[in-house]
Amino acid sequence: MSAREEVLGRIRTALGETRAPVPEVVRDYRTTDDRPAAELLDVLVDRLEDYKASVLRCGPDDVAATVTAALDSGLGTGWAPGSVVAAPGLPAAWRPEGLDTDDDRPPVQLAERAASVTAVAVAIAETGTLVLDGTPPCGRRALSLLPDCLVCVVTADQVVGNVPESLGRLDPLRPLTMISGPSATSDIELQRVEGVHGPRTLVVVLVSGAAATIR
């Protein structure tokens, strides 16, 4: 008998011939958050800053300039545009002049770059989480991982209140990365240290106002 057949057979034996009915799952926890949108943005900012990420807010016409300011704060002024890689689908209006664009180079080459700039798929206010889904605006997973500074642009319409709302907007078949602050460890005496293997600096550009949408 194959291991597969044997393990499945053991499970059937363990559960018995007349199986008990499947217990009902009651979902009476919160699945939506009806706080006003403006309040959710404030909660998101508060949570992100609590994780030691920095947040810059701007209107829909100032995204490129604010991304530049974000890179200034993450890398120090005077950074070389060619050392910053943008996701291939990042809207042109959001890109500072001269940025490099990610292509199908071997992913490890991204480790030489100082920073990357991506969009997100969803942001969760209550937990301060950004979700990237591997579509062209977010880029492949290595892009938001290897450069030491990550700038993410979030538009107001992408911000949801809680975790259940976020999963409803995501495609489980895509490679998903949930990011809540810079990488961190608490392995030494449970003291939090920001920045281990992932980007040590996370700067979020939060775009609100009338036309603040990526689509």
Partner 1 sequence: MTTTPQDLRTDQTPLAPGAPRSGTTFLGLPTAPRGVGHLRGDRSFPDAARDALRDGQLRANLGHATQTIRGKRARVVAELPDWQQLRAAGSALKAATMARLDEHLEELERQVTARGGTVHWARDAAEANRIVTDLVRATGTDEVVKVKSMATQEIGLNEALEAAGIAAHETDLAELIVQLGDDKPSHILVPAIHKNRAEIREIFLRTMPRVDADLTDEPRRLAMAARSHLRERFLRARVAISGANFAVAETGTLAVVESEGNGRMCLTLPETLITVMGIEKLVPTWPDLEVFLQLLPRSSTGERMNPYTSMWAGVTPGDGPQDFHLVLVDNGRTAVLADEVGRQALHCIRCSACLNVCPVYERTGGHAYGSVYPGPIGAVLSPQLTGVEDNASLPYASSLCGACYDVCPVAIDIPSILVHLRAEHVEAQEKPTAESVAFKALARAMSSPRLWRLAQRAAGLGRLLARGRPTMPAALPFPASAWTRSRDLPTPPAESFTAQWAREHGGRS
Give bridge partners of residue 131 from the DSSP assignment. Answer: 122, 178
Closest CB 33 distance from partner 1, rounded Å: 11
The string over 179-193, giving b where at least 16 C-beta atoms fall within 10 Å of a residue's C-beta and e elsewhere, is bbbbbbeeeeeeeee
Query: Measuring CA to CA, which residue among 114, 78, 85 is closest to residue 99?
Result: 85
Report how far residue 145's alpha carbon sits from residue 93's, in angstroms, rounded to the nearest whole number.
24
**Site residues for partner 1, window 79-138 (CB under 8 A)?**
104, 107-108, 111, 124, 126-129, 134
Report how far residue 122's alpha carbon sits from residue 43's, in angstroms, rounded to the nearest whole number.
15
Neighbours of 18 (CB within 10 A): 5
* Tokens of residue 73, six digits: 């704060």
Residue 20 in the binding site for partner 1 (CB under 8 A): yes
Residue 34 in the binding site for partner 1 (CB under 8 A): no
Residue 8 in the binding site for partner 1 (CB under 8 A): yes
Which part of the chain contacts partner 1 (CB under 8 A), choosing from 12-20, 56-64, 76-84, 207-215?
12-20
Task: Among 121, 181, 201, 212, indicate the residue that binds partner 1 (CB under 8 A).
Answer: 181
Task: Among 92, 93, 97, 189, indicate the residue that binds partner 1 (CB under 8 A).
Answer: 189
Task: Among 77, 93, 98, 186, indicate the residue that binds partner 1 (CB under 8 A).
Answer: 186
* Tokens of residue 108, six digits: 């490890």
**Site residues for partner 1, window 46-75 (CB under 8 A)?**
47, 51
State the number of binding residues for partner 1 (CB under 8 A).
Answer: 73
